[in-house]
Chains A and B, each alone.
Chain A
Amino acid sequence: MMIHKLRCLWAGAKASGTAEKNSQSPSVSRLGLIVRRSALALFGAVMTTQAAMATSVPVTPSLSVQPMIAAPNVARVITVRPLWPQGCPLPTLSLDTTYVEQANILVIRARAPVFILPPLCDSLAPIQLEISYTPTTSGALRIVVQSDTPLLRQEGNLITSELSAPRSLRDISGLWFDPSKSGSGLFLQHGFYRTDTVFGSLYVYDQQGATRWYSIQNGRWLPSGDLEATLFESRAPNGCASGPLICPAPATINRTVGTVTISVSDANTLTKQPLQMLLGARTPDNKLLFESLQLNRLEF
């Protein structure tokens, strides 16, 4: 579309140039034509660059941190891999740490070079840009690559932990559901930016088809990035026996129903590919409690 518009503009300019040529002296009109054509060539080069940048190609940009998890005061290398027009001067990265303390956000500003004479750039290809950052405290930071050029915008996480135990790589908080079993669901609260603890509630149905809930607690992150936790069922036998049909009551009995494993797949904020989750559940004697669920997060 952009290239088509450019051709139309060019054709229009040529026609306009021809019409004016007839009404002016040959030398003046030739000079004017050269100036106009130079300006149009410059404009065309700019537009071609922008058109190349706006071309629709499969986008697989990524952002990674090395080492992925490390203790405070260990230098980390953040690698941004955007798509960029081949042959164009590379963008530059700079850190802005003013959001770190208050909002847990590390901003990386990506600036595209300013062209005096626009270069002729080719189609988009992956490039790699690196910048170093040394966190001073434990926790998770949201990395936001900010740029006026949409191609360069990305997001990721930087995890800092003094513990030798594995830590989560993503915030899995929210309400999750399997579209094929809509009406059941999983709510997770995750202290991703602090303790990394997960508390969950699994909303299911019993053999009579009535609602039943389990809690998910005692989670531990595995080196694979998966979460393994215990599935509990609570009961309150003396809860609301003489009151309404249902009520909040203190739980007095907790039984272990089984173990759940949660595997989270990567999300890509640029392509709007959402985070997905696979939930498996087994009894304490390793029998399948129910079929694994492929969960999507509910977004409002």
Chain B
Amino acid sequence: MFVIAYCKFYPRSVKKLASILVAIGTAVSAYLAPQMSAAQPAPTIAIVQVAPVNAPPGVARTVTISGQWPDSCVPGIVVNSSLAAQTRILLVSRVTNPIGGRVCLQVLTPYRFEFAYTPIETGITRVLVDGSASTRGEGRIVTTTNGAIRAAKDISGTWYDPGSNGSGLTFTHGYLTSDTVFGTWFVYDRSGVARWYSIQNVVWKDSGSFEGALFETAALPGKCSIVIADPACPQPNVSVKQIGTVKATFTGIFLLDDTGPQATIEAFSPTNTLLFSSRVVPISL
């Protein structure tokens, strides 16, 4: 009220005072910036949290975006859900204040935003938070009808143990949909011949580990053309036999641009004796 009244009677003085304040602020900011940026830790990536973590379709979820912004001018957010049904991606864009002339101190500034989102289908919806490499983030909204445990990450791809390069596993994972996993383990027998086994009936025990069954299949003999020595060819299988179980535990950073996921895969006999194990990493193409 005082400022308004003062403005009415002394507009020139107010303008002068405001410009002096802006100048002081800018000078202080310019003086502090190099010292503070050298001393302060880097800004954090955006942390995405969803509550409730897992719920059926049609239940409203609260999505919280938090982190530390590199300066005091924390931008707002705009949530774009128009693509969610088509791509299962919810984009959270950052919007800067369009009014210029603000003084942004070079200090890490905590921020926290909340918004509501109601998924209409089961599966995973990715939440991508826009920003630079150091401020962006990613999360996921898990929607299941029965509150089932789901994988934290899409494990699709080829995984191998650098210590036994030439062996490995492949996983096909319905991460965005049913969360089903089909795996193949390509190994060698005692003669050194390449053999493969399938991993099926996978059940996620928590968001980073599963248990499944290890199957051996066989086809009719003598069905390949003998155009090379010791040939092999695609055929329908005629028998399926479970030879054991598999336990897999995935570790590493489960975030956008992660480069460090690893997994320990163990094969057990029907009597639960450890047959062999591999510490594998995914190949990146």
Contact = CB atoms under 8 A, between A and B. Distances in A.
B115 interface: no
A9 interface: no
A205 B276 CA distance: 23
B222 interface: yes
Contacts of B225: 287-290
A240 B276 contact: yes
Given A187-B170, A244-B276, A248-B161, A205 B182 contact: no
Interface string B126-156: 1010100000100000000000000000001
A201 B188 contact: no
Contact of A289 (B93, B184, B195, B227): B227
B197 interface: yes
B38 interface: no
Contacts of A268: none
B238 A209 contact: yes
Contact of B196 (A182, A203, A240): A203
Interface stretch (B9-17, B26-34, B229-237, B246-254): B229-237
A191 B190 CA distance: 34
B193 interface: yes
A116 interface: no
B278 interface: yes
A246 B187 CA distance: 7
B80 A98 contact: yes
Interface stretch (B47-55, B61-69, B97-105, B211-219): B211-219
A204 B158 contact: no
A206 B237 CA distance: 12
Contact of A251 (B166, B224, B228): B166
Contact of B189 (A189, A194, A246): A246
Nearest to B227: A287
B93 A98 contact: yes
Contacts of B167: 236, 247-251
A276 to B, nearest CB: 16
Nearest to B277: A248
A181 B238 CA distance: 10
Contacts of A203: 184, 196
B94 to A, nearest CB: 10
B80 A205 contact: no
Nearest to A99: B91
Contacts of A109: 82
B180 A300 contact: yes
B133 to A, nearest CB: 10
A5 to B, nearest CB: 25
A208 B235 CA distance: 12
B204 to A, nearest CB: 14
A268 to B, nearest CB: 15
B234 A290 contact: yes
Contacts of A247: 167, 187-188, 275-276
Interface stretch (A64-72, A121-129, A171-179): A171-179
Interface string B158-200: 1001011111101011100111101011111111111111000
Contacts of A257: 228
Which of B128, B166, B238 has the most chain A CB atoms inside 10 A of its CB? B166
A213 B195 contact: yes
Contacts of A258: 228
B232 to A, nearest CB: 4
B237 A182 contact: yes
A288 to B, nearest CB: 7
B285 A199 contact: yes
A235 interface: yes
B164 A102 contact: no
Contacts of B35: none
A238 interface: yes
A184 B237 contact: yes
Contacts of A175: 170, 172, 182
Interface of A: 98-99, 102-103, 105, 107, 109, 144, 146, 153, 173-175, 178, 180-185, 187, 189-191, 194-195, 197-199, 201-214, 233-241, 243-253, 257-258, 283, 287-290, 293, 298-300
Given A206-B232, A246-B190, 20 more contacts: A99-B89, A102-B130, A103-B126, A103-B128, A105-B87, A144-B87, A181-B234, A181-B235, A189-B285, A204-B234, A204-B235, A207-B226, A241-B190, A245-B189, A245-B190, A247-B187, A247-B276, A248-B164, A289-B227, A298-B172
25 contacts: A103-B89, A178-B234, A180-B236, A183-B217, A184-B219, A185-B184, A189-B285, A191-B284, A197-B285, A209-B235, A210-B195, A211-B195, A211-B216, A212-B194, A213-B194, A214-B194, A234-B166, A236-B192, A239-B188, A240-B188, A289-B228, A290-B233, A300-B178, A300-B179, A300-B180
